[in-house]
Amino acid sequence: MPMMIDMFYQIPVRVAAIALAASFSLPLLAQEAAPADSEQPPVRHYLIGAALSSSQGHIGSDGRHLGLQPILGFWAGRYRLSTGRASSLWTVGRETVVDPGLSTTLLSHSDWSLGASLSWDSGRKSEDEPLLAGVPDLRSTLRGKLSVGYAFAPRWSLGLSSSHDLLGHEGGGRYSASLGYRQPLSERSYWDTSLSANWGNRDYMRSHYGIPASALRGPYRLDGGIEGLSLGLGYTTALNHHWVSYAGLSLSRLLGDAARSPVVGTRQLWGASVGVAYRY
């Protein structure tokens, strides 16, 4: 039965990856069939900036890190290629589904939207980390994500997402449900907050929080289940037509078997970031 459940969750993400690839070819086929004088290049947008962030990971015993990170994004027609927070800075206004990585909106109807995205997961190295002693490295992989958003009220939205390892590197599947609220302060600024719950299937939980029997320490095996909760609060404003800035706070807490894992150094974490970007 667990195997059947895993297969059920993997099917939509594989379909999303195929749909994302097909969405590239369909416009090309349409352009070939259209007259040459009706062809118009897609509208292109660019975004570049930097963010100062303070963060810490749940896994391992590393302390807090303060660093400067790039914010990069490129938008051509219906496709977006972005890193991190760039995905939410394209416009100061509501977008139900915008994921980092290579993303597109597959369907949009009234207050509903369906999106698909591809992103690269850099994995994890276990060397020189006492809490990860004997635990295999988590291999980098390509992840496919399918997201559904619903704006059920002028300022409220719901989101569901399913993300899977597409290369079979034992990264497993991760699922999320979120509730968001956005309060406009003016035509150019707003603050928003979100509450998210995350789950993982067996492969995801074991690769991220488990200790295999082959390790030179006591094994820790867990099945699929709840991973944790996260709360975010942010403020975004357009300084002018091209410049946009933001500030954000986050709080996350592991729950259940994930929180009890011997590889976890801190169950509850907070983070903060502030950034500025130029968009054209």
How is 180-230 classified by DSSP, letter by letter? EEEEE-SSSEEEEEEEEEEEE-HHHHHHHH-B-TTSSS--B---SEEEEEE
Q: Structural domain boundaries of the chain?
A: 2-279
CA–CA distance, 59 with 38 (Å, rounded to integer): 54
Given this structure, which CATH class describes domain 2-279? mainly beta
Among 160, 145, 43, CA closest to 112: 160
**Neighbouring C-beta atoms of residue 112, cutoff 10 Å:** 14
Give SS3 for 247.
strand
pLDDT tens for the 280 residues of the chain, in order: 444 334 434 444 454 444 444 444 434 333 333 344 445 556 678 889 999 999 888 888 767 889 999 999 888 877 888 887 777 776 653 344 456 677 777 888 888 999 999 999 999 888 878 888 888 899 999 999 999 999 999 899 999 999 999 999 989 999 999 999 999 998 889 999 999 999 999 999 999 999 988 777 889 999 999 999 999 999 999 888 889 999 999 999 999 999 999 999 999 999 999 999 998 8
Predicted pLDDT of residue 100: 66
Predicted pLDDT of residue 39: 52
CA–CA distance, 246 with 249 (Å, rounded to integer): 11
What interhelical angle do 2-33 and 202-209 show, nearest 10? Answer: 100
What is the rounded radius of gyration, in angstroms, for the C-alpha atoms of the chain? 20
Predicted pLDDT of residue 85: 74
Tell me how far apart the 2 most distant CA atoms of the chain are, in Å: 69
